[in-house]
Amino acid sequence: MRRWLPFDLSRRGFLGAGILAAGGAALSARNAAGQATHDHSTMRAAQQASTAGHAAKQDHLTAHGAMMTVGEVDNARNGFDPTAMLTDWDTGEVTKRSDGRTVRTFEVTGEDKEIEIAPGVMFPAWTYNGRVPGPALRATEGDLLRIVFKNYGSHPHSMHFHGIHSARMDGVPGAGVIDPGEEFVYEFEAKPFGCHLYHCHALPLARHMHKGMYGLFVVDPDPARHPDMADVAKSRLLGTPENANWQEMAMVMNAFDTTFDGENEFYACNTVAHCYAKQPIKVDRNRPVRIYLVNVTEFDPINSFHLHANFFDYFDQGTTLTPTLKTVDLIMQCQAQRGILEFSFRDHEPGLYMFHAHQAEFTELGWVGMFDVVEAVS
């Protein structure tokens, strides 16, 4: 009977049978087969009704309807909150050397940690400071950096910084990859200014990165070194009044392959699928927005950032004070590519404005969020 009613019917086979059925069936066969070619309009109306019903229940989730993960991630158990991560800059401990130079010391630990990457889905991660992405380290151009890395994990790890430094500080095997229980201090000058990243460079590289060992490494420009564009540099320099006017956010585009088959099951910005869709990011429409964005998505060649109903200026790698792309609404980044996005909702009416990867597949697997533009953020 499989021969005339196969379950694994090929589409072509099905259509063939459908045509035969439509051709006029023997008494009862017509009735039974008629069920196969069913009423499109009824179905569509029903679908709309169902979708609308669902949407009505869900207020701000309407934009993505029922197309969303179910439930909430336990941020307390994870020990990190994607919303708090947006503004949680780690500026280290600042001291002055006798010659007046700033020394900035960061403490970072490598830890194994089971984290919840989507409601109810646990991932056996390797982390920096127990969070994925690791702490967003922020320094000023010219600082002397000391990153004290202690490996409490079960595997050899390192911190490889994108930036300029000596070979001995590269964080590759033989130059700062350390075994469990060991400690290493990476020392170098913070340069060039820009939006960078750091990640583990132990082998196998893809596994160590995909497990969660990466984070933002931002070097703010020193206004004194850029007299021509001191105002721009000041707006980038954390702690200045010019900078305080900006709404700055740290975003790391990442993904998780929970089945370890080389394809990701979850995509996100700052780890938790759909986190900013379920909890939109509050934005004051009277203040400009600056996003430090880095792509560490493993297994896919590129990721992207698309902003709805708005355009932005883009600073590729963040190493320039003038935009490398002006007035765009979509940028793409290959793995480890990063940049700074600047935009404003000043002329917009308040409301929810979506942002997401414009690979529709990534969007539907979790990399989508909303800006909740309001008159003033309390």
Partner 1 sequence: MNERVEHDRLRTAVPVSGRGPFSFLWLLLPLAVLGLAVWWLIATNPLASFGNGAPPVENITVERTILDHNGIGLLVRAGGSEPMKIAQVQVDAGYWHFEQEPSGPIARGDTAWIRIPFPWIVGEGHTVTFVTSTGATFEHAIPVAIATPVATTSTLVSQAILGAFVGILPVAVGLMFYPALRGAGPATMDFLLAMTIGLLGFLLVDTFEDAFEFAGGSAALFQGPTMVILAAVASFMLLTAFGRREGRPTGLALATYIAIGIGLHNLGEGLAIGAAFAAGAAGLGTFLVLGFTLHNITEGIGIAAPILKVRPPLWSFAGLTLLAGGPAVLGMWIGSLAYAPQWSALALAIGAGAILQVIIEVGAFLAGRHDKGAAGLLTLPVLSGIGIGVAFMYLTAMLVKI
Q: Is 108 in the site for Cu ion (CB under 5 A)?
A: no
Q: Which stretch binds Cu ion (CB under 5 A): 49-57, 171-179, 194-202, 370-378?
A: 194-202
- Nearest distance in Å: CB 277, partner 1: 10
Place of tokens 């229980």: 181
Q: Can you tell me which of 5, 56, 76, 376 binds partner 1, judged by CB under 8 A? A: 5
ω into 227 cis (within 30 of 0):
no
Q: Is 17 in the site for partner 1 (CB under 8 A)?
A: yes
Q: Is 364 in the site for partner 1 (CB under 8 A)?
A: yes
Indicate which of partner 1, Cu ion, none lies near residue 6 (CB less than 5 to 8 Å, by partner kind): partner 1
Q: Which is nearer to partner 1, 117 or 197 (CB)?
A: 117
* Residue pair 213/127 in contact by the 8 Å Cβ criterion: yes
Q: Which stretch binds Cu ion (CB under 5 A): 54-62, 137-145, 197-205, 251-259?
A: 197-205
Q: Is 200 in the site for Cu ion (CB under 5 A)?
A: yes
Q: 47: buried, middle or exposed (CB in 10 Å: 19+, 13-18, 0-12)?
A: exposed
Q: 336: buried, middle or exposed (CB in 10 Å: 19+, 13-18, 0-12)?
A: middle
Between CA 185 and CA 212, with CA 182 as vertex, the angle to 5 degrees is 80
d(CA 3, CA 98): 87
Q: Is 177 in the site for Cu ion (CB under 5 A)?
A: no
Nearest partner of 337 among 293, 284, 306, judged by Cα:
293
Indicate which of Cu ion, partner 1, none lies near residue 361 (CB less than 5 to 8 Å, by partner kind): partner 1
Which residues in 249-266 are b (16+ Cβ under 10 Å) and which e? bbbbbbbbbeeeeeebbb
Q: Which is nearer to partner 1, 24 or 100 (CB)?
A: 24
- Give residues in contact with partner 1 (CB under 8 A): 1-11, 13-21, 23-29, 31-33, 35-36, 38, 40, 42-43, 46-51, 54, 66-71, 118-123, 256, 258-259, 265, 273-274, 361, 363-366
